[in-house]
Amino acid sequence: MKDVQKLLNDIHPLKEDYLKQAKQRLDSLTKPPGSLGKLEEIAQRYAAIREDLNPSIDKKVIFTFAGDHGVVEEGVSAYPGEVTIQMVLNMLSGGAAINVLAGHVGAEVVVVDIGVAHDFEPAEGLVINKIGYGTKNFFKGPAMTYDEALQSIKVGIALADEYAGKGADIVGTGEMGIGNTTPSSAILSVFTGLPALEVTGRGTGIDNGALRKKAEVIESGIKLNRPDPEDPVDVLAKVGGFEIGGIAGLIIGCAFHRIPVVVDGFISTAGALIAVALNPAINEYLFCSHLSSEAGHRQMLERLGQKPILDLDMRLGEGTGAAIAISIIEAATKIMTKMATFESAGVDKALK
């Protein structure tokens, strides 16, 4: 944990000076102050994260972390684990929703095999950093060891390091893993103390009976493994997933490099909960893309104190919500950098 902790210690809250200067810039534009609402808030925070009052978003990257889950054995998903493999192959061939939406906003998609129960052939757009062939069934014991949890975080940090060197201006998180709403609900339940049934949703579309069983599996797994809410890595190890740890690490690494992170939906926000629990300042580097229709996501956002940019009743994952929100964030930064000021346009400041 030493090297991860050192990185965490070097992540600090945004500088008030940049926030103030960004607001001054926005208030100087040819519009009533604050009249563009959340777009102005987004632009202000983006500029402060980048420490750049003339920011641009040129290189956009969405990371889709893929992993399998042993808890699928308990019938918590409408689909078998093999679908994870099939969907990763679909992404690599360009046929998934994330490919379409990322292409629409001009973002690169990087699929990360961090724990799929399959050996993929090397392919363009695929990073293989496998920690294991799926987590273990946390209904019967810990999902992974503490070292494996740390390793999953380090995979995400290493990717942030690599893409910071490649000039990434903004990063989106995404995931693919049959059964991964179950560990995400478990993580939320541990951190908040809320009953599993209150924060557990239908995931891939399970019926009422399966939903009750899913909540019971989560409650039993938490009771058996006793994850420590004061130790986020222990929570990840006991009831989490490799892809959730990877997302947490990516967020940590991006915050260190002052790269804004656009968090997708329910599973990605579980990763954000882990990262922010390790260092609350990280929260300032996050943009939460949308409110998922998956049960529990609202409570996650409330815990972070974040307001979603969009509410489109989405619950697919993959990074799809992040892709759409990136376009909104880019629009916000263009307001800041391309709009005329009162002075440059010769407009009477009395109109402000």
Residues belonging to the active site:
318
Helix (H) / strand (E) element for 175: namely strand 170-176
Task: Return the closest-CA partner of residue 64 out of 197, 185, 244.
Answer: 244
In our burial notation (b when 16+ CB lie closer than 10 A, e otherwise), range 69-91 reads bbbbebebbebebebbbebbbbb
Residue 126: count other Cβ atoms within 10 Å of its Cβ: 17
Helix (H, G, I), strand (E, B) or coil at 21: helix
CA distance 58 to 47: 14
> Which residues touch 231 (CB under 8 Å, ≥6 apart)?
none
CA distance 260 to 262: 7
**269 in Cβ contact with 243 (< 8 Å):** no
Pull the structure tokens for residue 276: 């922010």
CA distance 292 to 86: 24
Sign of the CA dihedral with 183 first, then 188, 194, and 200 last: negative
CA distance 131 to 261: 24
Helix (H, G, I), strand (E, B) or coil at 290: strand
**277 in Cβ contact with 251 (< 8 Å):** no
Task: Return the closest-CA partner of residue 28 out of 346, 342, 351, 350.
Answer: 342
DSSP for 86-134 reads: HHHHHHHTT-SHHHHHHHHHTEEEEEEEEE-SS-PPP-TTEEE--S-SS
Looking up tokens 């500029």 gives 47
